């Protein structure tokens, strides 16, 4: 009851503690080269930097139902909302996807991006092996893109183009649920075989969305 009382009085503090615990546990499964204490400190620092960035960028006080606001504002012709919503829709995101992502707190959205970076770093370390060619970074990045989705600005063509471009973060939860469903039904090996037929996992996602399978 005491914990519930504290959360009721200080909901932001509770969110931060939940983020700290959640990402400490998740990253502990990835980075075996670091102690839990070191990982926790890294997560705390990420939360601190995320809060500072939110203040700088003016997003710290966005409402909890910001996704609802975005979709409604886009429908009424608000140019800023339209830009965000239309970009996500062009990549196959539904209004439900948009609401789901943007209804998260600002801190939750920033920590998702933080974890994506940590995840890719961990995967790069796992893929480092003597059998790779001298051009390690390019080869590893190519292998990663075939195995896992890459999120970011879908208009960013500085690294990839066409259907290989970054997927919008609005699709992340939907893609995660789809991946889990396929792995549960067919196994991870089958998913990897399916993904290997395409240049990147992002292309597979876009094809599956186009077919109506995702």
**pLDDT tens digits, residue range 132-169?**
555 666 777 788 899 899 999 999 998 889 999 999 99
| CA atoms within 13 A of residue 102's CA, in its CB half-sphere | 24
Number of C-beta neighbours around residue 85 at 10 A: 23
pLDDT, position 195: 92
Average pLDDT on 203-213 reads 96
Residue 21 has pLDDT above 70, yes or no: yes
Q: How far is CA 212 from CA 18, 127, 197, in A?
A: 35, 33, 18
Q: What is the C-alpha separation between 76 and 209, in angstroms, rounded?
A: 27
Phi and psi of 167, rounded to 5°?
Answer: -85, 150
Please provide the average confidence, as pLDDT, over all residues in the chain: 88
Q: Are the CB atoms for 97 and 171 separated by under 8 Å? A: yes
Q: What is the pLDDT of residue 188?
A: 87
What global pTM score does this model have?
A: 0.86
Q: Quick one: average pLDDT of 67-86?
A: 96
In the prediction, which pLDDT does 5 show?
Answer: 42
- 3-class DSSP state of 165: coil
């Amino acid at each position: 009851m005491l914990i519930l009382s504290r959360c009721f009085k200080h909901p932001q503090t509770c969110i931060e503690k939940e983020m700290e615990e959640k990402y400490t546990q998740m990253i502990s499964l990835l980075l075996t080269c670091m102690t839990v204490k070191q990982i926790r400190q890294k997560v705390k620092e990420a939360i601190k930097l995320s809060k500072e960035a939110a203040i700088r960028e003016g997003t710290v006080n966005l409402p909890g139902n910001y996704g609802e606001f975005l979709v409604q504002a886009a429908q009424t012709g608000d140019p800023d909302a339209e830009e965000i919503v239309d970009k996500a829709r062009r990549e196959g995101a539904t209004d439900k996807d948009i609401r789901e992502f943007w209804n998260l707190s600002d801190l939750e959205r920033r920590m998702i991006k933080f974890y994506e970076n940590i995840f890719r770093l961990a995967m790069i370390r796992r893929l480092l092996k003597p059998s790779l060619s001298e051009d390690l970074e390019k080869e590893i990045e190519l292998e990663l893109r075939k195995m896992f989705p890459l999120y970011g600005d879908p208009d960013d063509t500085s690294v990839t183009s066409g259907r290989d471009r970054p997927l919008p973060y609005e699709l992340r939860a939907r893609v995660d649920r789809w991946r889990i469903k396929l792995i549960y039904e067919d196994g991870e090996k089958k998913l990897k075989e399916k993904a290997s037929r395409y240049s990147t996992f992002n292309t597979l996602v876009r094809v599956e969305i186009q077919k109506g399978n995702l």
